[in-house]
Amino acid sequence: MQKNLRWKLILILVLMVICIYFFVSPKEKGAPFLSRINLGLDLKGGIHLVLRVMTDDALNQELLQDSDRIAQELKSKNIPIAASKKGNGYSVEITGIDPSRDSEVRTYLDATYNRKYTWRSTISEGKTNFSLTLQGPYIRDMKESTVRQALETIRRRVDALGVSEPSLQIYGGSSQDVPDQIIVELPGVDDPDRVKGLIENTAQLELRLVKKGSEGGPFASIEEAVQANGGSISDEYSVLPYREDRGDQSQLEYLVVNKIPVITGKDLKTARQGTDRNGSPAVNFFLTSDGAKLFGRATEQHIGERLAIVLDNAVSSAPVINSRIDSEGIIEGHFTLQQANDLALLLRSGALPASLHIEHDQSVGASLGNDSIRSGVMASIIGFGLVVVIMVVYYRHSGLNAIWCLLGNLIILMGFMGGVSGVLTLPGIAGVILTIGMAVDSNILIFERIREELRSGKTVRAAIDTGFSKVFWTIFDTHITTLISAAFLFQFGTGPIRGFATTLTVGLLANMFTAVYVSHRLFDLMLGDRRVEALSI
């Protein structure tokens, strides 16, 4: 045997052994064999969600914050106004400005909001009014940013649940071609209702001061709160529901709280499940350095007052501030242990920038997955068996060469899937079956070319070398065009379609190696150093 051929065969064998190891070895100690390849949603069961991000929520929140900020800024400049509030659509309305001061307002708006809003002024009843409208590019950027932030928040929550190989991607668009849907596929989920609740919960955390005195409540109804505050609630405050647990009874009440929070979830560093002073489950939260400074200053200035801990616009608890609090606090709400753990998970993963609406909800049972696996494996075995019979009958000993290359192709493909802990889907199994057909097709092209060269009178070695060299570019072209199609499927398809594109791509690349290189080396091994007058093909 030639020395170079020996080393080439050894390298091929080493590659196959490595691929077999990655395919059959357990993923971790104690895990079963073949555990490196994860099963997709259609094989393992789980949930498939299509979520629409309500991007207008984030824009409306931005407009409300800007209107409050403008009111505070103009107040600090001693410029009296009647109101600064969100208007119709994506606008902020500033009313009741004295005409003698409107030039100052114009200067302020030009310096602060010229890149974000377009604005115009009108005169009504001797007062100047300004209308600020969000610019189109800013609206689009804000919507895209909201969807991306929602995707990352959902990803953090799913990762914290420990779901194996989740699939999340942005998809679709409802307006202005802005993709606003998120597809979530979670294999192996056994409590879909809990997972859906964790995903769609916005988890907006705010700490707000309760209005000082009896006007802050609690009250039995919103009407009672309004009456206690002189018949109207000023723009500085809002009325929020508060469910206080009193032993065996739970009563819904209402508190009047500051509209502007002391701190929000953005100031949160982490949160974890703990216990309150009675040993009941609670949530401990820890603040960033900037958040701790704000919280410490606010609690020091309001000792003796109540602080409302607000989750998603509902008061969870409202303890009295007994002393300065800096970097940490506790949320009490008579939680169960799982509720406390879930709330801590939500706070750690961050609040959603906008609410989510479930457009499509599908649960896939594991029994369907088992049926799909059996059908897919059976189809693969039957297809492989028919290929073996046909190749051996038609191409005789050379057909065995094609069978060894086909086995090598499958070993490399499954080794890659195991090495990267890939997800095998039912379309992925279809990709494996299609790879078998593509691999056989490549060998047929080579064998038929070798036959032509033999009929033209060339020697066996010359016919084999010429056959491989002349067919190479034909095989290369067919594989490249198919790989381009697979790339588009992977880019624009969802989870199962991506599984098909992945197995097809890896199978084609493996086939380029086995059909062109490995098959040639096997022919060299079969011929050896002896002179061969005829080839069984």
Per-domain residue ranges of the chain: 3-42+367-527, 56-137, 205-351
Where does residue 63 rank: exposed (0-12), middle (13-18), buried (19+ CB within 10 A)?
buried
CA distance linking residue 249 with residue 246, whole number of Å: 5
| 3-class DSSP state of 88 | coil
CB–CB of 239/249 below 8 Å?
no
CB–CB of 354/58 below 8 Å?
yes
Topology classification of domain 205-351: Gyrase A; domain 2 (3.30.1360)
Residue type, 227: Q
Closest listed residue to residue 503, CA positions, set 490, 513, 494, 517 = 490
CB–CB of 94/81 below 8 Å?
yes
Would you say the C-alpha torsion 69, 73, 78, 80 has a positive or negative sign?
negative
Where does residue 428 rank: exposed (0-12), middle (13-18), buried (19+ CB within 10 A)?
buried
For residue 212, how many other CB atoms are within 10 A of its CB? 13
For residue 398, how many other CB atoms are within 10 A of its CB? 23
CB–CB of 427/497 below 8 Å?
yes
Contacts of 48 (CB under 8 A, 6+ apart): 41, 183, 184, 185, 360, 361, 362, 363, 364
Topology classification of domain 3-42+367-527: Multidrug efflux transporter AcrB transmembrane fold (1.20.1640)
CA distance linking residue 463 with residue 520, whole number of Å: 12
| Kind and range of the H or E run holding 121 | strand 117-124
Q: What is 56-137's CATH number, 3.10.50, 1.10.3470, 3.40.50, 3.30.70?
A: 3.30.70
Structure tokens at 350: 């961050």
Instruction: State the pLDDT at residue 162.
Output: 66
CA distance linking residue 158 with residue 51, whole number of Å: 14
CB–CB of 84/100 below 8 Å?
no
Would you say the C-alpha torsion 517, 521, 526, 529 has a positive or negative sign?
positive
Q: Do domains 3-42+367-527 and 56-137 have the same CATH topology?
A: no
List per-residue pLDDT tens for the chain, 537 residues long: 466 778 888 888 888 888 888 877 776 665 555 566 767 666 677 778 888 888 888 888 788 878 877 887 888 788 888 888 888 888 888 888 888 888 888 888 888 888 888 888 888 778 888 888 888 888 888 888 888 878 887 887 777 666 666 777 887 654 456 788 888 877 777 677 777 777 777 667 778 888 877 767 777 778 877 777 777 777 778 888 886 654 445 577 888 888 777 777 777 777 777 777 777 787 777 877 777 877 788 888 878 788 887 877 778 777 777 777 777 777 666 667 777 777 777 666 666 777 788 887 777 665 555 676 677 778 778 877 888 888 888 888 888 888 888 888 888 888 888 887 777 777 777 888 888 888 888 888 888 888 888 888 888 888 888 888 888 888 888 889 889 988 888 877 766 677 788 888 888 899 888 888 888 888 888 777 777 666 777
This model's pTM is above 0.85: no
